[in-house]
Amino acid sequence: MTKEAKTDAVEPEARRLRRELFTDEMLDQLMAATGERGLSLTGEGGFLPEMIKAVLERGWRPS
């Protein structure tokens, strides 16, 4: 199985889980809140790197 085929097989389930845990409305709120506070979503000091850091610090390991 190629890397692309493996990614395609996993992506739909990951997307479904994202929708279960983070609704579109929640994502809209997140984007509005970061904008209101003058934060970016990505890059140094961005919200997403901070979320990733928090997840990794909890000891999450991919299966």
Report how many domains make up the chain: 1
* Span 13-26, pLDDT tens digits: 889 999 999 999 99
Give the range of the structural domain holding residue 27, as residue numbers without chain letter.
3-57
CA distance 13 to 10: 6
- Give me the residues of the chain with pLDDT under 50, please: none
Q: Is residue 47 part of a domain?
A: yes
Give me 5's structure tokens: 């085929």
What radius of gyration do the chain's Cα atoms show?
Answer: 15
- Reading phi first (left if > 0) and then psi (alpha if -120 to 50, else beta), residue 38 is in left
Q: Is residue 23 part of a domain?
A: yes
End-to-end CA distance of the chain: 18
Give me 30's structure tokens: 């997140």
pTM for the full predicted model = 0.61
